Structure 1
Amino acid sequence: MHRNDKSRRLIVNLQGNDKPRGLIVNQQSNDKPRGRRVDQQSNDKSRGRTVYQQGNDKSRGRIVLTTDLDAMFHMNNSRYLRECDLAQTKLWLESHVVKTIGQRFHVTNAATNIRFRRSLELFTRYQIVSRFIHWDEKAFYIEQQFVRLSDGFVCAVNICKQATIGCTPASMVQRVDEHLTSPPVTEELRKLMTSWKLSSERLRKSS
């Protein structure tokens, strides 16, 4: 198998590491992504390939339609989550995990946290940039950014915890690329995970 073929096996982003040990891929959710740029890091002889897949600046991306609006003429909250679900499916398919693992591979949304920074208004064009930011013994964590195409502003950010069923994240990643390791937990994600844990403990005590 050629290195270039292997480099497309999993879509991850390693943060806070000047010398990446795995693949770094930012996947934008255009229907027809274009403009692939590959930078070869010559100092890392084993896993030095860094791949960035970027949408073309002229790409239309997605657009806010009248059916997406709420009473305030902004894109409604349920539409954000629906678009996140579609983008997550696209991310999994393009990471080749589904093809590699087959029917034994299942994930389910265990938690999600979305933060709105600016509203998306009628006929605004935007992209959803999805990436794996971490995985542990039970789940993958995906960050999704709603990026306004007119100026590149991140209008909303969603962080989703997707729990695995029938296998562990580590075993799935090893099947795709044995050299990949999880990106370190950011402080933002750590606090979010703590919040989810506290919520679960409170609900268990009350039930």
Structure 2
Amino acid sequence: MLQLAWTAVFPRKKVRGRTLLDPSTYSMRVMPQDLDILMHVNNGSYLQLMDVARFRHIAEMGGTPLSRENSWGAVVAASTMKYRRSLQLFERFEITTRVIGWDERCFYMEQVFLRRGKLCARGIIAARFLHRKTGERIAPPAVIAALAASEGLTTTPESPRLPDDVAAWARAWDVAPRPVTESVEP
């Protein structure tokens, strides 16, 4: 929690040339507060570590000043995890965060935990941007357009096609765009 607060109050600087679709990787170490009674990283701690990595990822793309100027905040709408190997006290590991796509409702991100090159866990999240004062949802295309404009770009990138497993997960958890239903008059 302290690491997340520190990252939010003192965000990293923008990395020149970093784009929305570029992955970012951070080295971290398992600390005592990350552990559960079985002395490995607690499942809830993975989610907090993912929060820290996402804050860093957004900051390095130049999203922090943009979020502050527009009173936007990113929230997780849904998440799923798969655990393969335990992380133990003081072990070093890396989290790689990448945006895998977006639609009219959410951004979809993959976050992978590796220790010495071996997969420990993989998380998928659906994130939304909300206006901090009104709670209004900010559509991902509007965020993309603002990021592009801040870089001086005249065109906005299009979302890559979501992997089939992520698209199915988004539909199952009702975070994907809903089909438009026509109203039939009697």
| TM-score bucket (shorter structure) | 0.7 to 0.9
What residue is the counterpart of 1:73 in the other structure?
39
What residue is the counterpart of 2:143 in the other structure?
172
**Alignment TM-score, normalising by the size of structure 1:** 0.65
Aligned pair count?
149
Q: Deviations over 1:15-56 (max 9, x none)?
A: xxxxxxxxxx22112xxxxxxxxxxxxxxxxxxxxxxxxxxx
Find the aligned partners of 2:63 and 2:103 in 1 and give their Cα distance.
Answer: 16
Report the Cα offset of residue 72 of structure 1: 1.7
Query: In the superposition, relative to structure 1, how do residues 67 and 107 fare at CA in structure 2: closer, same or farther (>3 Å)?
Result: closer
- Mapping of residues 76-91 of structure 1, within 5 Å: 76-91=42-57
SS at match of 1:112: strand
Find the aligned partners of 1:193 and 1:70 in 2 and give their Cα distance.
Answer: 30
Which stretches in structure 2 are left out of the alignment for 5+ residues? 1-14, 131-135, 149-154, 176-186
**Alignment TM-score, normalising by the size of structure 2:** 0.72
After superposing on structure 2, the runs of 4+ consecutive aligned residues of structure 1 that deviate more than 6 Å are none
Q: Deviations over 1:35-94 (max 9, x none)?
A: xxxxxxxxxxxxxxxxxxxxxxxxxx2112333222222111121111111111111111
Identical positions, percent: 28
Amino acid at match of 2:20: I
What residue is the counterpart of 2:184 in the other structure?
none
Report the Cα offset of residue 121 of structure 1: 1.4
Q: For 1:156, which of 97, 100, 121 is the aligned residue?
A: 121
Find the aligned partners of 1:91 and 1:163 in 2 and give their Cα distance.
Answer: 15
Find the aligned partners of 1:76 and 1:127 in 2 and give their Cα distance.
Answer: 16
Find the aligned partners of 2:78 and 2:51 in 1 and give their Cα distance.
Answer: 13
Find the aligned partners of 2:147 and 2:166 in 1 and give their Cα distance.
Answer: 25
